[in-house]
Amino acid sequence: MLRLGFFASHGGSNMQSIIDAIKSGNIDAKVSFVISNNSDSGAIERAKRERIPYYHVSTKTHYDTDSFIREIIRIIDYHNADTIILAGYMKKLDDKIISYINGRVLNIHPALLPKYGGKGMYGRFVHEAVLANNEKKTGPTVHLVDNIFDHGRILAQIEVPVLPGDNIESLSKRVLEAEHILYPETIRKIASGVIII
């Protein structure tokens, strides 16, 4: 059984889609903890509601890099987590943490990587660029995380059409709906050995 540790900064809707899939028996996994760098995040609210252990770890709680990294490793160890799920986590994860968990770190990005990835390409900036380039399709990517933004091995993607009259809001909503299908489905495949990481 996978033991997942979530990292989330904002609403946590992707995290919720994975929790729901676990609760309904679709994924053989346990949610070990939620870490957020934002004490007001929706992700922390969801963790409370779901009775999942949660931690606020940020540059406010741990202002030097070493103690920040040590605290995260302590939490991973304490819960014996084997896979980290980034779900809207806005900080770059340090190499030491990635190697500590043997590279088993997943992220979801709201574009068809390798297009529209890299530093500064997040949230509405991604959809703005997709629209500015008149792309006919876009969609989320689940990938492994390495030390370059949006760069690790691509595990799964779903294509979503860009429709005439789309704006950033309509497009991001359509892509987010696809994220809520793709992320749980990819983790299900990892849990059942269909995707090997």
Residues catalogued as catalytic:
109
Total binding residues toward ligand GRF, as defined by CB under 6 A: 14
* Nearest distance from C-beta of residue 19 to ligand GRF, angstroms: 11
Q: Which is nearer to ligand GRF, 60 or 173 (CB)?
A: 173
CA distance 169 to 167: 5
DSSP character at residue 151? -
Give the pair of three-digit tokens for residue 142: 């689940």
Instruction: By CB under 6 A, tell whether 13 contacts ligand GRF.
Output: yes
Picking from 125, 131, 87, the residue whose alpha carbon sits closest to that of residue 106 is 87
CB contact at 8 A, 62 and 71: yes
* Strand, helix or coil for residue 14: helix
Instruction: By CB under 6 A, tell whether 152 contacts ligand GRF.
Output: no
CA dist list (Å): 48 to 40, 43, 45, 52, 168: 12, 9, 5, 6, 31
Stretch of 25-33, 47-55, 108-116, 188-196 contacting ligand GRF, by CB under 6 A: 108-116
Pairing type for strands 83-86 and 54-56 reads unpaired
Q: Is the dihedral of CA 46, 59, 109, 40 positive or negative?
A: positive
Picking from 94, 125, 66, the residue whose alpha carbon sits closest to that of residue 7 is 94
Instruction: By CB under 6 A, tell whether 109 contacts ligand GRF.
Output: yes
CA distance 96 to 69: 8
CA distance 28 to 51: 18
Q: Which is nearer to ligand GRF, 64 or 183 (CB)?
A: 183
Stretch of 8-16, 21-29, 30-38, 146-154 contacting ligand GRF, by CB under 6 A: 8-16
Stretch of 4-12, 50-58, 70-78, 163-171 contacting ligand GRF, by CB under 6 A: 4-12
Instruction: By CB under 6 A, tell whether 88 contacts ligand GRF.
Output: yes
Instruction: By CB under 6 A, tell whether 11 contacts ligand GRF.
Output: yes
19, 52, 72, 108: residue in contact with ligand GRF (rule CB under 6 A) = 108
Instruction: By CB under 6 A, tell whether 87 contacts ligand GRF.
Output: yes
Q: Which is nearer to ligand GRF, 100 or 149 (CB)?
A: 149
* Nearest distance from C-beta of residue 21 to ligand GRF, angstroms: 14
Residue ranges binding ligand GRF (CB under 6 A): 8, 10-14, 87-88, 108-110, 140, 176, 179
